[in-house]
Amino acid sequence: MEIFRGISVSPGVAIGEAVVLEAEEYRIPYRVVPACDVPQELERYLDAHKASILEIEEQSAHLRAHLGRDAANVFDWHVGVLKDESLNDHIAGLIKEKHAAAAYAVSTVMRSYQRRFMQMSDPLLVERIRDVQDIERRLLRHILGESREDLAHLSKPVILVAHDLTPTQTAQLSDTRVIGVALDAGAATSHTAILLQSWGRPGVIGLGDISTHLSGGDTVIIDSTNQLVIANPTEATLDEYRQREEAYSRFSHALDDFKDLPAVTRDDVPIALYSNIEFPYESRAGIAKGACGVGLYRTEFLFLRPEGAPSEDQQYVAYRDATLGVEGKPVTIRTFDLGADKYTQQRSYEQERNPMLGLRSIRYSLRNLDMFKVQLRAVLRASVHGDVQVMFPLINSLMEFRQAKMTLHDAMEDLEEEGIAVNRSIKIGIMVETPAAAIQIKEFCREVDFVSLGTNDLIQYTLAVDRGNERVSQYYISSHPAVLRIIRDVVRACQQAEVECSICGEMAGQPLYTMFLLGVGLRTLSMAPANIPEIKKLIRLVTVSHARRVARRTLGFDTDRQVSNYLRDEMRKLLPDDPI
C-alpha cells in the first residue's frame, strides 16, 4: 500500500482501478495472463523490443547522415537502455514469474526506471526521464498496436491518473466513466483544478510523481476530503474506505434537502449565494443547486475550442444562453481573463518569463482592443435578455478601469448607431485581485457599481506565490492573517461607500471560511455550484452575531496555523458529523 499527499479539488471518496494516461493517451491495462499464454506474451515483448531497436537504429542512422553525430547521440542512449540486460531480465521476469501481460510488465518496469532518474540530483540526468518515457511509449506502441483505447470508450468506472490534464481533456471528463482523478501537477486554483471542481467528482492534484508509481489496473482510493491518494490498499483499508464512500454519498444526498431552503442565518439575515460558471449551460445547473444567479462567468473558457478565438456571434449566443438559464436573475459576465495559465502562452511566439506577472487579464484585453471590443459588443447584445452585469478582472489602477469602461461605452455607441438594442444602465464592476486595488478601494468605490473579491489571485499577489505552481503550493495560504485583513478592509470600505461587495474566489465555497466571511460583513458569496448546498447548511446554523465574534477572534491571530485551527474547531462545533 502506498499513500500520496496532494491538494484536494473537490471533496469525496472514489475507489476504482487506475487508468494511467500518458502524454500520448496510452491506456495500460492491468492484465495477468493464464500460464499457457506466458510464452506468447514473452514473444510479444521480445518482438516489440527487437522492432523498437531496429526503428531507433534507422532513425539514428538517418540523423547521423543528415545532422551529424551529436544529433544521433540521444538515440544511441535509447538503444543502450533497451539493450540493458537488467532491464530486459526485469521485464521478462514479470511476465514469466508473475504472468503479467507484456504491456503491463513494460509499463511497470519503465516507471521504476523513471523514478530512479527523478531522484537524481544531476539536472542532466533528470532530463533523461523524458527519454525513458519515450522508450516506454515506443515499446507500448509495438505491443499494443491498434488496440489503443481512449477515455471515451472505457468499459467500466475508473480512476484517471496522469501527469497533468489540459483544460480540454478536463472539460471532456463528464462524458467518460472516470470517477476520480489523481494528477502529478496542478495547484488548488489552477484552471484545470477549477474545471475539475465543476466536474464535481473527487480529485487530488499536485501529487508530484504519482503517475510514475502507478500502473493501469492498480486499485486506487481517492480520498480528496483528506487530500490523499492510496494505491493498492490493504483489505482493511479498502473496507474502511468503502464505508466512507457510502457515508459521503449519504451526506451529499442529504445536502440536496437544502437546495430549496432559503440561505438565511439563524437570526434571519439573508445571504445571497451565486454560482461561478465556466460554460453557459452551468447557469441553469447553478439555479438547480439553489443559486440566486451567476456571480462569476469565466468567459475565457470560450477559448477552449480548438479553432481559437470565438466570434462575436458565438460569444453573444453563449452570454445570452447563460442569461436565459437563470430566468431573470443576475448574471455577472467577467471579461476575458486570458494570459498566465489561460490559453495565450501556448499560442505566443515567445513565452513570457513570469506569466503570472505578465500580459494577462485586463492588461491583455486592453492591449488587444479589437478582441476586447468584440467581447463587449457580445455582452451588450446579451444584456437585453436579462439582468446582465459586466466585471473587469485584475484591475490594478483607476486608469485601467477608466480605459475599460470607455471601451465599453464605445461599443455601446457603435451598437446603438447600428440600431442594436443594449441595456444602457448595465452595472459595471471590478474584481479586487491585487493588493494595489485593495489599498485604493476607496477611490475605486467612487467609480464602480460593484466589487468582487477574487481571492484566488489576491492570495497569489499578496503572498507572492504562483497559484499554479505545485512546488510552492504550501506557501499559498488562504488563512494568512495578511489576506484576512485585506478582505476585512475591502469589505469595510465598500460598506462605508455603500458599494455592493461580494466574494467569488474559492474561499467563498470553503466551509472553513464561511463564518469569517459573514463576520466581516459579506452577504454575497459566489462559488462552484457543487459547494452551494453545504455552505447554505452552514449559514442556516450560524447567527451573524456569532460570526462577528468568530471574525474578530480570527483577526487577532498572528499566524495562519492559529487561524485555521480555530476556524476548524468552530466549524466542527456546527457540523460535528459531516465528512467534509
**Which residues of the chain form contacts with ligand PEP (CB under 6 A)?**
189, 296, 298, 337, 433, 454-457, 504-505
Cβ(190)–Cβ(342) below 8 Å: no
Q: Which residue do the cell numbers 489599498 mark?
A: 439
Q: How far is the CB of 467 from Mg ion (least distance, A)?
A: 9
Contact 326, 383 (CB under 8 A): no
Q: Which residues bind Mg ion (CB under 5 A)?
A: 433, 454, 457
**Gap between the Cα atoms of 412 and 404, Å rounded:** 12
Cα separation, 447 vs 469, whole angstroms: 35
Minimum distance between the CB of residue 444 and Mg ion, rounded to whole angstroms? 16
**Whose Cβ is closer to Mg ion: residue 276's or residue 283's?**
276
Instruction: Based on the residue annotation, tell me whether 504 is a catalytic residue of this protein.
Output: yes
- Least CB distance from residue 476 to Mg ion, whole Å? 13
Residue 505 near which of ligand PEP, Mg ion, none (CB within 5-8 Å, type-dependent)? ligand PEP
Contact 560, 508 (CB under 8 A): no
Which among 334, 335, 376, 338 is positioned nearest to 359, based on CA atoms? Answer: 338
> Which of 228, 391 has the CB closer to ligand PEP?
391
Q: Which of 78, 163, 191, 546 is flagged as catalytic? A: 191
Comparing CB distances to ligand PEP, the nearer of 337 and 534 is 337
Nearest Cα to Cα of residue 515 among 490, 460, 482, 552 = 552
Distance CA 211, CA 164 (A): 9
Q: How far is the CB of 169 from ligand PEP (least distance, A)?
A: 19
| Environment class of 236 (CB within 10 Å of its CB; exposed 0-12, middle 13-18, buried 19+) | exposed
Nearest-approach distance from CB 361 to ligand PEP, in angstroms? 8
Q: Which amino acid is at 230?
A: I
Closer to ligand PEP by Cβ: residue 457 or 570: 457
The amino acid at 172: Q
DSSP H helices, 127-234, are 128-144, 167-171, 191-199, 210-213
Work out how close the CB of 168 gets to Mg ion at its nearest, in angstroms, rounded to a whole number: 21
- The rounded distance, in Å, linking the Cα atoms of 100 and 30 is 8
Q: 298 contacts which partner out of Mg ion, ligand PEP, none, CB within 5 to 8 A by kind?
A: ligand PEP
Give the residue with the Cβ less far from Mg ion, 338 or 547: 338
Query: For residue 541, what is the DSSP state?
Result: T
The CA distances from residue 369 to 241, 344, 372, 447, in Å, are: 53, 15, 5, 22
278 binds, among Mg ion, ligand PEP, none (CB under 5 to 8 A by kind): none
CA 119 to chain centre: 27
Q: Which is nearer to Mg ion, 466 or 578 (CB)?
A: 466
- What count of Cα atoms within 13 Å lies in the side-chain half-sphere of residue 363? 12
Which of ligand PEP, Mg ion, none has residue 189 at its interface (CB below 5 to 8 Å by kind)? ligand PEP
Is 191 among the residues known to form the active site? yes
Q: Which residues of 519-548 are buried (b: 16+ CB within 10 A; e: fewer)?
A: bbbbbbbbbbbbbbbbbbbbbbbbebebbe
Greatest C-alpha distance within the chain: 81
Nearer to ligand PEP, 45 or 199 (CB): 199
Catalytic residue of the set 292, 445, 501, 504: 504
Q: Is the CB of residue 495 less than 8 Å from the CB of residue 521?
A: yes
Within 299-436, strands assigned E span 330-334, 387-392, 427-432
Using CB positions, name the residue nearest to Mg ion. 457
Residue 434 CB, nearest approach to Mg ion (Å): 10
Nearer to Mg ion, 137 or 334 (CB): 334
According to DSSP, the β-strands at 219-223 and 203-205 are unpaired
Q: How far is the CB of 460 from Mg ion (least distance, A)?
A: 8
Q: Which residues are catalytic?
A: 191, 504
